[in-house]
Amino acid sequence: MKISLIQPGRNNLKYLKWSYDSIRKNQGNHDVQICVADDASTDGTWDWCLEMMDKDPNFNAIKNDTGKRLGHTILYDRLVNEVAKHDVCMIYHADMYLCPGALDAIEEYLTEKTIVSLTRIEPPLHPDGPEKLLMGFGVEPEEFNEEGLLEYVKKLPMTKTTEGIFAPWAFYKKDFQEIGGHDPLYAPQSKEDSDIFNRFQLNGIKFIQTWEGCVYHMTCRGSRRNTVDKAKNIYEDSPEWLEQNMRSTRNFIRKWGHFVKHDTLMKPIIPPKYDVGFIVNNCNHELLSALEPWCSTIYTNCNIQDYIKTEQHNTTMDLYERVKPYDNEKNNEILVTIDGNKFTQQDFQYIQQLSEILADSGEPAFHGELGNITIEIFEEMNTYEKDLIIC
């Protein structure tokens, strides 16, 4: 198999070196191109990339020399579109060790219109889950117990597949390009993976997690818990990541109308996307901020200009198209009326579950109440999630 591994990196050189060694050691008879993007690092990453390009003809790198983080949301796509020379690619993190036989498992299951994920073995830094194996073989390259990991992998009864999707995930480049790759709405990072997984599924891609191929994943060293890049330690998320995760979460809700959803094995769950307008009386800045992501349009009597001024830099969506004066013409297919003086936490929970509520019991020409909110459905009740497939 010919495959291009896609690895952006920012100030995580020691992980890139560790990962590189594992790939070359355990790639078997596969033709593996390693594609690295240096995201304005200050730890010598680019010097190492130049050295490796001289030594290894199957190592290629690009550099973000702007001095400002672009993030893997952008650099994944640059590597796939500009650097990867093979038809098959794999999104692969710098803090992953490629176990023996992993690429054989990819080759066994990967076909066009499928995405194959390897099974992650992780140290107990995060809660356990049925989609991964929790076992500690070190949390830093300098303390990595390679011999212990290899013995553990040899004894695993890896004979099954499930339907989850997560990194590392291998795919045909044309399937990735068909939907336009990652959405820069989430740059520099966070929720871009959940977004593209939704879009893949809606475009007919089948997900396969093979348990016959593994990586050891130290987890979160790209930026979230990278101590060389603003994280205090490997057990706490960096303030930068937390702020960006909040922005990306709000943008995901704006786009899809719900939180990220998946089953226990990480297969996406995608509720319908409706055209919903909120009419909010007795509104204030705090309530507007809480409600705005959850609808297509919000009509309010509070200060729109102040809200847009403070929020627009957090999204590429045009908030002037989303936030309208209270008496503006209302053209949404579904209208939800809210009185800010009566709005409760329970009402907000209804708002957060609105896609599922409408899918379960909504119908055209409906008019009724749910808690303290009023829902009116007109003659149309279309769903628009498939309009989101192409970026």
Residue located via tokens 């490997």: 234
Rounded Cα distance between 277 and 168, Å, is 38
Residue 380 has pLDDT above 90, yes or no: no
Q: Tell me, what's the pLDDT at 156?
A: 92
Residue 245 — pLDDT band, cuts 50, 70, 90? very high
Residue 158 has pLDDT above 80, yes or no: no
pLDDT digits (tens, 9 = 90+) for 325-351: 999 999 999 999 999 999 999 999 999
Interval 97-116 mean pLDDT: 97
Burial (CB < 10 A; 0-12, 13-18, 19+), residue 40, is middle
Q: Are 76 and 168 in contact (CB under 8 A)?
A: no
Instruction: Determine the angle formed by the axes of helices 192-202 and 239-256, rounding to 10 degrees.
Output: 30
The residues facing 231 across adjacent strands are none
Residue 235 has pLDDT above 70, yes or no: no
Residue 34 has pLDDT above 90, yes or no: yes
CA dihedral 208, 211, 214, 217 (to 10 degrees): 80
Rounded Cα distance between 192 and 356, Å, is 23
Burial (CB < 10 A; 0-12, 13-18, 19+), residue 233, is exposed
State the pTM of this model.
0.96
Q: What is the mean pLDDT of the chain?
A: 95
Residue 228 — pLDDT band, cuts 50, 70, 90? low
Residue extents of the structural domains in the chain: 2-256, 276-388
**SS3 readout for the chain:** CEEEEEEEECCCHHHHHHHHHHHHHHCCCCEEEEEEEEECCCCCHHHHHHHHHHHCCCEEEEEECCCCCCCHHHHHHHHHHHHCCCCEEEECCCCEEECCCHHHHHHHHCCCCEEEEEEEEECCCCCCCCCCEECCCCCCHHHCCHHHHHHHHHCCCCCCEECCCCCCEEEEHHHHHHCCCCCHHHCCCCCHHHHHHHHHHHCCCEEEEEEEEEEEECCCCCCCCCCCCCCCCCCCCCHHHHHHHHHHHHHHHHHHCCCCCECCCCCECCCCCCCEEEEEECCCHHHHHHHHHHCCEEEECCCHHHHHHHHHHHCCCCHHHHEEECCCCCCCCEEEEEECCCCCHHHHHHHHCHHHHHHHHCCCCCEEEECCEEEEECCCCCCCHHHHCCC
Instruction: Give the class (CATH, top level) of 2-256.
Output: alpha beta
Rounded Cα distance between 45 and 87, Å, is 27
Q: Are 354 and 272 in contact (CB under 8 A)?
A: no
Rounded Cα distance between 196 and 199, Å, is 5
Residue 82 has pLDDT above 90, yes or no: yes
Q: Tell me, what's the pLDDT at 126?
A: 87
Interval 25-38 mean pLDDT: 98
Q: Tell me, what's the pLDDT at 186?
A: 98
pLDDT digits (tens, 9 = 90+) for 277-327: 999 999 999 999 999 999 999 999 999 999 999 999 999 999 999 999 999
- The percentage of the chain sitting over the pLDDT mark of 90, rounded to a whole number, equals 90
Q: Read off the tokens for 301.
A: 């009597």
Q: Tell me, what's the pLDDT at 121?
A: 97
Q: Tell me, what's the pLDDT at 210?
A: 97
User: Which distant-in-sequence residues (6+ apart) come within 8 Å of 176 by Cβ?
Assistant: 80, 89
Residue 159 has pLDDT above 80, yes or no: no
